[in-house]
Amino acid sequence: MNLVIHDLSEEEWSKVASKYEGWKVISDNGTIKPCIGCFGCWVKSPGECVIKDGYDQMGALIHHADEVLVISKYTYGGLSSFVKNIFDRSIGWVSPYFEVYEGEMHHKKRYPEDKPMSFIFRGAGLTEEERAKARGYVEAACRNFHAKIKSITFEELETMAQVGTQEVSETMEAGRLVMLNCSLRADNANSKKFMKRILPLLETEAEIVNLSSYLAHPEKLVELLLSAEKIVLGMPLYVDGVPSAPLRIMELLEKSGKAAGKKIYVVANMGLYESKQICHLLSIVKTWCEACGSEYCGGLAIGAGEMLKMMMRSENIDKGPSKNMAEGTKRIAAAINEGQAIEDIYADPFKFSRKMYIFCANASWPLDAKKNGLKKKDLFKQL
Ligand SMILES: Cc1cc2nc3c(=O)[nH]c(=O)nc-3n(C[C@H](O)[C@H](O)[C@H](O)COP(=O)(O)O)c2cc1C
């Protein structure tokens, strides 16, 4: 069985469908839900997603496919929100356990294969720089998934709907700041915990808004964000990029044609150790800013977020493993106050080795499984 994952409209698909006769096709039927970051596909029902919407078997489908083809609209140097959602919902394909792979911290495989994957990015007038961004993203995601890249190609689409020039929204209030918690873990999100440490350092009134409250009414969130001049996006790293839920909001903001003139800051955190792995997420936000006519003002990339979140309860985060992150928090808060752009800040844990982090993280998975009535061996389940 071959597997094709695509975001084509019905009309576009009808023109190419005959090429993929006999393939298993994953496309947008309008029912897909975004990943809620629960790790259920690792510690509740290993290998399969807990959201039963017809897209819950992605890990097993990829495993059983001889090869996988991904067709996506070129979106800010990465995948479109639908295809990215499929990637986010596929992490059960790998095991929760960590190892050092190609010099970086990554997950171990659940299945033995090196799955061949091909990618077709569709876009109008894609420059060599834009193509390089997409290649860079795919290489990172495939390293993370232990997939083997068979090919990355670009399809020139002259007829693709071009988004017109961007205007400043008439509802935008000078100085208005919105902090958006993009994690669907909502109040339990690490993203929110990190943003809460920035809040008291800010000179402007701000509240942290949960994206999860707007899933049924994304247009209301778009309206709220259009009224802000400064936006802080608090994001987890999902499959080396922006999670599908905030990516969808970013697409809608661009489509509104009114997202110009804003100052955008990012506070991103991740489960793996090396904060450098957040570079593609930051690049995607930066490219989105360019598409919208807004200013990318810098990001704080926090490595080992799943450990550092535990330190956010402490009065003093300036000492110990959170020291670099605490310094980054002060620098980004000062930039937000001044409305200045800064270089991206990469904050790895301070004086806490990667080896120790991997040891502690690997020890935590059987404990999580036990809470769900599973045994350690269940974590290795293959479907
Ligand atoms: C679907 C999914 C994909 C993820 N992909 C990555 C990844 O590529 N690299 C990484 O370091 N962590 C990854 N993580 C881990 C999250 O970034 C990490 O758990 C983060 O602390 C969650 O932040 P939050 O509580 O704000 O959602 C992933 C988590 C999920 C649920």
> Virtual CA dihedral for 98, 102, 103, 109, nearest 10 degrees?
0
Residue to probe by mutation, ligand 1, list 237, 275, 278, most atoms within 8 Å of CB: 237
- Distance (angstroms) between ligand 1 centre and the Cα of 355 equals 19
Asked if the model's pLDDT at residue 331 lies above 80, the reply is: yes
pLDDT confidence of residue 218: 98
Based on the fold, state whether residues 239 and 116 are members of the same structural domain. Answer: no
pLDDT of 80 reads 98
How many Å apart are CA 232 and CA 107, to the nearest integer?
A: 29
Return d(Cα 355, Cα 173) in angstroms, integer: 47
Would residue 119 count as lying in a domain?
A: yes
Q: Which amino acid is at 58?
A: M
Strands (E), 164-206: 177-181
Mean pLDDT of 145-173: 87
Residues 102, 212: one domain?
A: no
Q: Is the dihedral of CA 313, 314, 319, 321 positive or negative?
A: negative
Distance 270 CA to ligand 1 centre (A): 5
Dihedral, 11, 88, 212, 332 alpha carbons, nearest 10: -120
Task: Extract the tokens encoding 328.
Answer: 């980054």
> Are 8 and 17 in contact, with CB atoms under 8 Å apart?
no
Note whether residue 49 is domain-resident: yes
Give the Å distance between the CA of 26 and the centre of ligand 1.
Answer: 23
Length of the chain: 383
Is residue 268 within 6 Å of ligand 1 at its C-beta?
Answer: no
Average pLDDT of the residues in 262-267: 98
Nearest CA to ligand 1 atom 22: 236
β-partners of residue 78 are 75
Do 295 and 330 fall within a single domain? yes
Query: Is 196 a residue whose pLDDT tops 60?
Result: yes
Least confident residue range of 51-60, 140-149, 156-165: 156-165
Q: Is residue 379 part of a domain?
A: no
* Residues 334-362 pLDDT 10s: 999 999 999 999 999 999 999 999 999 99
User: Ligand 1 center to residue 99 CA distance, Å?
Assistant: 16
Looking at the DSSP assignment, which residues form a beta bridge with residue 345? Answer: 300
Buried b (16+ CB within 10 A) or exposed e, 189-207: bbbbbbbebbeeebeeebe
Q: Is 181 in the pocket of ligand 1 (CB under 6 A)?
A: no
Q: Is 271 in the pocket of ligand 1 (CB under 6 A)?
A: yes
Nearest Cα to 211, choosing from 250, 240, 175? 250
- Based on the fold, state whether residues 9 and 99 are members of the same structural domain: yes
Residue 292 scores a pLDDT above 80: yes
AA letter at 169: S
**188 pLDDT above the threshold of 60:** yes
Residue 161 pLDDT grade (very low, low, confident, very high; cuts 50, 70, 90) = low
Over 90: is that where the pLDDT of 162 sits?
no
Strand partners, 5: 26, 70
What value does the mean pLDDT take over residues 3-19? 97
Domain that holds residue 248: 177-347
30 within domain boundaries? yes
| Distance, CA of 117 to CA of 236 (rounded, Å) | 25
Contact yes or no for 207/179 (Cβ under 8 A): yes
In a domain, 357, yes or no: no
Are residue 202 and residue 283 in the same domain, yes or no?
Answer: yes
Binding site membership of 272 for ligand 1 (Cβ less than 6 Å) = yes
Closest protein CA for atom 2 of ligand 1: 238
The ligand 1 atom at the shortest distance from the C-alpha of residue 303 is 11
- Using a 6 Å cutoff on CB, does residue 88 contact ligand 1? yes
Q: Is residue 377 part of a domain?
A: no
Interval between CA 169 and ligand 1 midpoint (Å):
33
Q: What is the CATH number of the domain that holds 199?
A: 3.40.50.360
| Total structural domains within the chain | 2
Test site for ligand 1: of 238, 307, 348, 358, most ligand atoms within 8 A of the Cβ: 238
Token pair belonging to 259: 């997202």
- What is the rounded average pLDDT of the residues 280-299? 98
Per-residue b/e over 247-260, b at no fewer than 16 CB within 10 Å?
Answer: bbbbbbbbebebbb
215 and 340, same structural domain?
yes
CB 98 within 8 A of CB 42: no
Mean of per-residue pLDDT scores for the chain: 96
Residues 322 and 283 in one domain: yes
Amino acid letter, 279: C
- Which ligand 1 atom is nearest residue 234's CA? 26
Say if residue 164's pLDDT is above 70: no
Q: Among 77-86, 233-242, 280-289, 309-318, where is mean pLDDT lowest?
A: 309-318
pLDDT given for residue 158 in this prediction: 74
Q: How far apart are CA 294 and CA 68, in angstroms?
A: 36
Confirm if 121 and 89 have CB atoms less than 8 A apart: no
Point out which residues pair with 178 in neighbouring strands: 231
pLDDT band of 315, cuts 50, 70, 90: confident
Give, using CA atoms, the residue closest to atom 4 of ligand 1.
Answer: 238
pLDDT at 160 over 60: no
Residue whose CA is at the smallest distance from ligand 1 atom 3: 238
Helices (H), the chain: 10-16, 40-43, 58-64, 81-88, 128-145, 190-198, 218-226, 244-256, 279-292, 305-311, 323-338, 354-371
User: What pLDDT was estimated at residue 5?
Assistant: 98
130 and 81 in a common domain: yes
Same domain, 185 and 147: no
Q: Judge if 182 and 326 occupy the same domain.
A: yes
Query: Which pLDDT tens digit goes with each residue over 105-128?
Result: 999 999 999 999 999 999 999 999
The pLDDT-based confidence of 187 (bands split at 50, 70, 90) is very high
Separation of alpha carbons 149 and 144, rounded Å: 12
Residue 144 has pLDDT above 70, yes or no: yes
pLDDT at 165: 83
Q: Find, among 65, 21, 78, 56, the residue nearest to 244 by Cα.
A: 78
Strands of the sheet containing 148-156, edge to edge, are 24-26, 2-6, 67-73, 116-123, 148-156
User: Residue whose CA is closest, atom 29 of ligand 1?
Assistant: 238
328, part of any domain? yes
Q: Decide whether any atom of ligand 1 lies within 6 Å of the 278 Cβ.
A: no
Instruction: Compute, in angstroms, the gap from residue 300 CA to the centroid of ligand 1.
Output: 15
Is the residue at 356 inside a domain? no
Quick check: CB of 35 below 6 Å from ligand 1? yes
Cα separation, 231 vs 204, whole angstroms: 12
Beta bridge partners of 179: 208, 232
Q: For position 163, what pLDDT does the model report?
A: 58
Give residue 120 CA to ligand 1 midpoint distance, Å: 25
Are 205 and 278 part of one and the same domain? yes
Say yes or no: 146 and 221 in one domain: no
